[in-house]
Each structure stands twice: as C-alpha cells, then as structure tokens.
Structure 1
Amino acid sequence: MTGTTSPAVSSPASAARCRVAIAGASGRMGRMLIEALRDSDDCVLAGALDVPASPAIGSDATAFLGHASGVAITADVAAGLANADVLIDFTRPEGTLAHLAVCSRLGVKAVIGTTGFSDAQKAEIAAYAQRNAIVMAPNMSVGVNVTLKLLQMAAKAMSTGYDIEVIEAHHRHKVDAPSGTALKMGEVMAEAMGRNLKECAVYERYGHTGERDPSSIGFATIRGGDIVGDHTVLFAGIGERIEITHKSSSRSTYAQGSLRAVRFLAGHRTGMFDMFDVLGLK
C-alpha cells in the first residue's frame, strides 16, 4: 500500500517531527489545521483525508496556501494514515469512527474534536483508546478549557440560590445542537454540584412551562451567519447575576489547542484523555 507523502516527512531535518494526518482536509477547520502545521516547528503534515465526493480529492493539501506540500488529499483512509503518527479529526461521528477503525489497525493515535457522538459511539472510542492513545474534547481551545475550569469552581460555590443557563451561538452550517462545548459546560457544572446532567438539563421551552425548577440547567441555542463560537453561562441569583463568557473569533485557537494535544500524545501509548489532561487542569 502506498500513499503520497510530504518530502518533509523523510528529510533528516524533520525526522523527529510528529507526523500528523488531517481529516476533512478541504473544510474550514481542516484548512486551519493544515496552516497551523505549516507554521509548526515540531509537527509536519503527513496525510490529508476527505470524503470521496470532495472536489479536492487528488489535489495538494496546501494548494490553498499557494505552495505544494507533496501531500495529496485522498479518500483512501489507509493510504492517508500510512505515514502518520497522529490523526486530527474534526468531522462527523460516523466518519470519525470509520477513521478510528483504521487508526486502530495501523497504530495511529488520534485527537478528536468531532461532536455529536451518542453514548454508544463514545463507548466505541473508549475501546479504541485501549489500543492507541486518544485525546477527545468538544472544544480544543485553551481558553474554552480554562473557562470550563472556572465554571467548575463557580458551580461549586453557587450550587444553591442561583439559576444556571447556558447560551451558545454558532454559524449557520453547524448541524448539532446544543454544541458539544455547551454540553461539556453543563456536564462540568452538574458534576461539580453532584447532579446528573441527563436528569436536570432543559433543552426546550415553549408554551406554559410552569415555574423554573431550581435544580435545572437550561440551554439556549442560536444559529446564524458565520459565528465561530460564543458561549455564555449565566448564574442568576436574587439581586445579582454572574456571567462567564468565552467568544471565539477564529478557528486558529482550536488548531493551536489541537497541536498541544498532539504533543501531549507523544508521551502516551494508550489511554483516553481530554484537554484538562493536556493543560494540566485536573
């Protein structure tokens, strides 16, 4: 089995660099990741994957940057991963699971930013992590993960007397709601307060809803335009409100966080990790 690889992969100067494959290489996030790899001193692009119907299949993965890398975008997952140490995947649940099956066979680690997994699919990913190390997080941004830590602290201090609402906004093309980041915020706060998010989450309100359950965590979703990602958690008490907000203006924050996850995986052969592990926030 052969694949098209970057000359940088085999050059002496880059022998120690981590070889990274990108799934969804022609998409918005895929291109941001490829650009981050180009600017990295210790990671190099080694493979680029996309769906068979993509018009980018066969083209050079860095053509959009105005130069050639020697890495062609392919729909052949095995060929695209043949020279990689780590796959970064921000695609769809079904696609990610298909990629992980090949990663498992080839011994390739993974950084997963895909959201919308079912519990059964998360269990499949955990099983893969017993063979190859995986970092999975709904948001790879360093700032978002610091925000999650702040929410954990706030929820412990305001577990009673405050109503909690999570408001998130994303671009019109996002297909899952609430966002994976919003759900992670809810999970972190629920756990900090000794609650189960599945039991206390309220995702819809319409008509005569009755009074608010003080133990609930509410979610509101906004979709429109080109919003990269805004998340606000409101703690509403009597006489005061506290808002903790994170706003993304560029996907570059997700790309840089993903590369930090790649570097973290260099020290781990197996295991399931998240960005709290990567950033030392646990």
Structure 2
Amino acid sequence: MTQLLAVHGAAGRMGRRVVALATTDPRFDLVAAVEHPAHSSLGQDVGSLAGVDPTGVPLSSEWPEGLDVAIDFSLPDAVDGVTAECLRLECGLVVATTGLEAEQKSRLEQASRHIPIVWAPSMSMAVNLTMRLAEQATAALQDVNGGIDVEIIERHHRFKEDAPSGTALKFGELIAAQMKQPAQHVHGREGKTGQRGRNEIGYHAVRVGDNPGEHTIVFGMLGETLELRVAASNRDSYAAGALAAAAWLAGKPPGLYSMFDVLGMS
C-alpha cells in the first residue's frame, strides 16, 4: 500500500536526497515538502530543487491533512515542532535529525505513546549493522589477555555543527554496555595525560571538506588490532535508510523504534 509522505527539511542537503529517492520509490506518494516559513525557496517545485523531474509538489511551510508518515531531516531546534505536527495529524514519524539533546529525546519518547516514531543517530543500514558488530566484538574480547583499548574516530564534512557525531556517541554507548567495568568516555587528548585508562573509550572528531560520514572503531590489544570501519561515499545511504524506516512504520502501533527494529536486529 502506497504511503502518503511528507519530507521536512526538504530543501536541505539531506532533504533533497530523500525527495529525489522518494520520487522513484513505489512505496510512497510524496505529497508534501515542508520548510520553515522564511525559506527563500518556498513555492518552488521540490523535484526541481532536488535536481530531478518536477513533482508538482511545491516547497511549503504548511502541513497537509491525511499524511501517513513524515521524514524529518532538519535541525534540532525544529524537531519539537515537527513532532507536534505529527501528533496533531496522527501520522508516523522518522526523525533523522542528529544532535538532539536529552530533553528532546525525552519528548520523543512521550510522543511515541501516541504515534509510531523511528529515531536513530544514523539512518545508514551499514552503520547500524556495524554497531551490532562492535557490540559483539566488545563482548568477545572482554577477557583477552591485557584487555582492549577502544578508540572511536569519526570524520564528517566541515558544515557539521555537533561533535562528536551522534553516531560516534551511540557506538560508545553500545560498547560501554558490553564492558564489565564502567567506561570512562574521553574526548580527545592533549598534554601530559599519563597512561591510558583501562576502561577508556576515546572519541576523535575530524571535520574535512564534504565527507558525508565515516566511522572507525579501533579495538587495540597487546599484539594485534581489530578495526571496524564504515564509510558513506554519498548521502544516499542515509536517505535510503530513512525511507526504509518510513516504509517499515506502516501499520505499526505507537512506540519509539530504532533502526535495529527496522533491520530486524533488536
């Protein structure tokens, strides 16, 4: 059954890619492309903005009635408003916006009592699979002679406003949950730091050019090293993941779901 889809943040870098992929996806009928009321491109055909054939859907600040699902790729400040609109419309919601504060996540949990919501720090299916592998590696290496050192290195484009990435923090959260002792989360190192702590998880954020996203999880041991690396070559992996999540939400009861649920890895 075709779902009536709205894309919020439709004129942004990620929103345009969601629009472009949605126009050729038989699971969806793109009926709304939403931006903030002061956006300079309001009224323009969203397909043309996305670099594909015109869709007949203008960029608008209005939310139409009758939606089945919305995908939000915007800014953290806009998420509460998007959630409120989806609650009013009683439609499903995929929150692909990163950098949310704890209070915003709490409000998403509250909203999920009434509508189905998918939220994850990354919409990439490969990233979420790598998260599961990182969990398994941590659990398997817990008792290795000399212990393991975990470092998380992430690279993103120069325009990204939060660091470390929400994806890197999620990797750290999942790895810490597998450790036998409480983890110490260390963000970068500088100066005379002394010997590395046995339960540290180190985070290192690199901001370069137009890199769409790359994460390397290093498990250092005495005598050998294991690295898990996942990298996007363009933004379509995130857009495709968001659309997969939106399709998965069809018919789901209210609740807060993750990409692990979408991929059947919960």
Taking structure 1 as the reference length, what is the TM-score of the superposition? 0.89
1:35 counterpart (16, 20, 31): 20
Structure 2, unmatched stretches of 5+, are: none
Given the superposition, is the C-alpha separation of residues 81 and 125 from structure 1 closer, same or farther in structure 2, using an over 3 Å criterion? farther
Q: Secondary structure at the match of 1:67?
A: coil
Which residue number in structure 1 is paired with residue 239 of structure 2? 255
The Cα shift of 1:81 comes to: 4.1
Instruction: Show structure 1 runs of 5+ residues with no match.
Output: 1-15
Which deviates more from structure 2 when the two are superposed, residues 230-239 or residues 249-258? 249-258
Q: Deviations over 1:44-78 (max 9, x none)?
A: 211111123322111111113353222111123xx
Partner of 2:199: 215
Q: Is contact 2:66–2:89 with CA below 8 Å preserved after alignment?
A: no
Q: Which amino acid in 1 is paired with 2:218? A: L
> Is 2:259 the counterpart of 1:275?
yes
Which position in structure 2 is the counterpart of 1:94? 77
Instruction: String of CA shifts for 1:162-204, please: whole Å, max 9, x gaps.
Output: 10000000000000110111111111111122555xx621113
Mapped partners of 2:176, 2:64: distance in 1: 38
Offset of residue 159 of structure 1? 2.7
Q: Is the Cα–Cα contact under 8 Å of residues 47 and 83 in structure 1 kept in the other structure?
A: no
Secondary structure of 2:46's counterpart equals coil
Matches within 5 A, 1:228-243: 228-243=212-227
Distance 1:237 1:81, change over 3 A: farther
Ranked by relative contact order (alpha carbons within 8 Å, sequence separation 6 or more), the top structure is 2
State the partner residue of 2:45.
60
Residues 46 and 83, structure 1, Cα contact 8 Å, conserved in 2: no
Q: Structure 2: which amino acid aligns with 1:179?
A: S
Give the TM-score of the pair, scaled to structure 2. Answer: 0.94
Aligned residues: 262
Query: Whole-Å Cα distance in 1 between the matches of residues 88 and 150 of structure 2?
Result: 44
| Aligned equivalents of 2:66, 2:180: Cα separation in 1 | 45
Q: Which residue number corresponds to residue 179 of structure 2?
A: 193
Over 6 Å off, 4+ runs? none
8 A contact 1:132–1:270 mirrored in 2: yes
> Structure 1 pair 195/267, CA: closer, same or farther in 2 (3 Å)?
farther
DSSP 3-state at the match of 2:248: helix
The separation in 1 between residues aligned to 2:253 and 2:57, in whole angstroms, is 26
Q: Give aligned-pair identity as a percent.
A: 39
- Tell me the distance in 2 between the aligned counterparts of 1:75 and 1:194: 49
| Change beyond 3 A, Cα 1:122–1:158 | same
